Structure 1
Amino acid sequence: MNHPTLKIEERTLLRRIFRRLERLRGAPAAAPPDVRPVGVGLVGVGNVVRWAYLPRLRGRRTFRLRAVYDLNRAAARQVADSFGARACSSLSELTQEDGVEAVFVCTPAQAHCEVALAALEAGRHVLCEKPLGSSLEEALALWEAAREAGTAHMVNFSYRFRPDVAFASELIRSGALGRVYHVWGALFQGGWFTETGAPAQARGDATAWRFGPGGGIVLDLGSHLIDLCRLWFGEIDQVQAWTRQFRPGPPVCEDACGFSLSFKEGPVAHLLTSRWATGHKDCASLEVSGSEGSLVLDRGGLRLWTRGEPRWRALLVPPLRGGDFLDAFYAAIAGAFAEIPDFRDGLKNNEALDGIFQSVRSGAAVALPLRGAEARPQGLKVMDRRG
């Protein structure tokens, strides 16, 4: 790490942040020779599994795929065969499989609660894709079940584990930016959904669920932005939001959402998510402004401005030795110190999501925490203030 233009105290801060990050990331990427692999039951074999899980599981010594279940039996069998695992005919068969110690819940959000509850009731560790539940009511049930089970539990808010985001997180939390005033952010998707011809639901492909009830942009991408802001600034005390559906036809689920978050002891965040950002396949950008400096995270990397400096500086962020989200989950199972987003983080995320839906319905700001939490109706049919 070489930043020749940084002041001595800034270089010391950056080195300290790197050391702390490597402690927080849990197990090292290279497992020790005597590591015992944890047997995994995988539920769901859709796109996120093929992109984010299977490449990481192949050849990994900390986890071994033992069983696979998906409603698409042929797809489940194909994945199972490629790993020498068992293709199960039911969820209960997978959760009761002797070799399964941990269950990875990688279904659409509407099925998270059913699958994760079954795994927890069977005494398994659970890694669940985000969001934890499709409603606050589901997330609360899962948090209570996880506490009762006493097993490791984690929600895969994957942005936390990107090296640039992890570094930005520690820089913000170190106080280097002083008192933070404002946050602007956007998380866009485009080409995957909008530049491939017919809509996904007409093509009948594996992304079609994202355009049906419960598959909107708020749960899918808004949850990432909420998680990062909670990580950086603590608990949210108010939300306000609007949504839009750009596709023709009756309201089903939202394609874009703009929302504002305010924090008990921190800034105001103005955030936008859209699945119709043409030209963007997956694009995240965040800017944090404080009394002593500002930080930008986007496709161009990390840039920092500090008081008294004439211009912005690029920060070089090498790969961290602490590994990825699977390493962090393995460390949690092993009882090692690892800072992971657990089911309580998932619950607080769902609370903010439900606050967003309530704000969309009412057209007004909603205070958090929610009192007598009104669980959102099953499915997601809230579009804009007319919905």
Structure 2
Amino acid sequence: MGRKLKVAIIGCGGIANGKHMPSLTKVGQVEITAFCDIIRQRAEEAATKYGVVDAKVYENYKDLLLDSSIDVVHVCTPNISHAEISIAALEAGKHVMCEKPMAKTSEEALRMVEVARKTGKKLTIGYNNRFRQDSQYLHKVTQAGDLGEIYYAKAHAIRRRAVPTWGVFLDEEKQGGGPLIDIGTHALDLTLWMMNNYKPKVVLGTAYHKLGKKKNAANAWGSWDPKKFTVEDSAFGFITMENGATITLESSWALNSLDVDEAKCSLSGTEGGADMKGGLRINGERYGKLYDTTIELNAGGVAFYDGNEESDADLEARLWIESILNDTEPIVKPEEALVVTQILEAIYESATTGKAIYF
């Protein structure tokens, strides 16, 4: 394709400015031609900073989707509108990158998959942690079978005190949940991808709203307002897969724990194990002895050159655009993201009902 892909951004808030727009500007085959936000000033500022000279600005995404010249849409809005906007964009003939989580509910996520298949347009979800160097390396290890059958895994998303106090993060109606759907989703996606296992059988979950009630609490981004804190502050899941494998999922924005890890996983297989704690570590048994090794991910070794590769966000953006240009499957397939949403929803349902949820 000789011409550049024309990309539109719907939702010009934190994640668009922090990840999507800066990374897209580094992809040579792209130009960002349209920006939409319910707060027009945000869209205008984004257009000035990241757009082409004659970039268009909208307040209503439906108006933006009428532009037939737009090839790709990035949906960077609150969770409640992910499905609505993504489906409308697919039906308007656009390829869609939707921020994580895929949708607020599994029903919405399933509809997104169905519409993508029907329209023939590509759909992917913004699970950028797959594109980190440690994730990319570990995925090669697991897919090569070096760990054997992975039958036990842990998905880590624990913050000690880092509650996002801006935007709609604390609003259950707009987000669908708290740390589980916000950062637990990254850890679960990473774990399922490493295991290449997307067939859950039964889920048991718990969710807590304990520390969120505290006033004047210590927090990375300043104290939260307990009255506005309508989502859980921590949630945990126990997942059994159809093949008998077990996954434990831990997530928190606020938890009295020094064992802090986010968007990481630990894997245990028949031939070896791995974790992302203190670097990427592989462990196993060889010649009758146990071993563990830390993988050196820094490609440096030359003076004044640290060997840093593309950031996860930059690699995510580039490979997404290349999947469109080359007509190949995106790294994050919508069917995989759907299973993540289904499991998260089951954890919430189990936490509410006190019952195990069977698939």
Give TM-score scaled by structure 1 length. 0.77
How far did 1:68 drift?
0.4
What is the aligned counterpart of 2:36 among 54, 66, 69?
Answer: 69
1:218 paired with 2:192, answer no
Deviation at 1:110, TM superposition (A): 0.6
**In structure 1, C-alpha distance between the alignment counterparts of 2:14 and 2:254, rounded to whole Å:** 19
Q: Secondary structure at the match of 1:273?
A: strand
| 1:111 CA displacement | 1.0
Distance 1:181 1:316, change over 3 A: same
Change (3 A) 1:281 1:99: farther
8 A Cα contact 2:71 2:95, kept in partner: yes
Note the 1:42-191 alignment, pairs <5 A: 42-82=9-49, 83-84=51-52, 85-190=55-160
Distance in 2 (CA, whole Å) between partners of 1:285 and 1:340 is 18
Q: Provide the aligned length of Structure 1 versus Structure 2.
A: 323
> Do 1:43 and 1:70's aligned partners in 2 also have CA atoms closer than 8 Å?
yes
Following superposition, the deviation at residue 268 of structure 1 comes to 0.8
How far apart, in 1, do the equivalents of 2:98 and 2:182 lie? 13
Determine if the alignment matches structure 1 residue 287 to structure 2 residue 266.
yes
Deviations, residues 54-76 of structure 1 (Å, cap 9, x unaligned): 22123431221110001111111
Shift of 1:232: 2.8
2:356 alignment partner, one of 356, 362, 365: 365
C-alpha RMSD of matched pairs (Å): 2.5
The residue number in structure 1 matching 2:208 is 244
The change in CA–CA distance for 1:184 and 1:344 in structure 2 (over 3 A counts) is closer
Alignment of 1:4-43 (within 5 A): 36-43=3-10
1:297 aligns with 2:297: no
Identical pairs, percent? 25
In the alignment, which residue of structure 2 is the partner of 1:276? 254
Distance 1:78 1:219, change over 3 A: same
Query: d(CA) in 2 for partners of 1:63 and 1:164?
Result: 27
1:336 and 1:143, CA in 2 relative to 1: closer, same or farther beyond 3 A?
closer
* 1:330 partnered with 2:321: yes
- Report the 3-state secondary structure (helix = DSSP H, G, I; strand = E; otherwise coil) of the residue aligned with 2:274: strand
Moved more, 137-146 or 273-282: 273-282
Structure 1 pair 190/41, CA: closer, same or farther in 2 (3 Å)?
farther
Partner of 2:295: 315
Give the conservation status (yes or no) of the 8 Å contact 1:109–1:215: no
Per-residue CA distance 1:191-240 (angstroms, 9 max, x = gap): 5437xxxxx2xxxxxx2311011241221122222222322331222211
Moved more, 89-98 or 235-244: 89-98
* Shift in CA distance, 361/262, structure 1 to aligned 2, threshold 3 Å: same
| Residues 320-370 of structure 1: per-residue CA shift (max 9 Å, x gap) | 6896111221122123444522222222222112211221122122112xx
Q: Quote how far apart the aligned CAs of 1:36 are.
A: 3.4
CA displacement, residues 235-274 of structure 1 (integer Å, 9 cap, x when unaligned): 2222111001121257721111111112222521112111
Residue 258 of structure 1 contacts residue 272 of structure 1 at CA under 8 Å; is this kept in 2? yes
- Structure possessing the higher relative contact order (Cα contacts under 8 Å, 6 or more residues apart): 1
Q: TM-score scaled to structure 2, two decimals?
A: 0.82
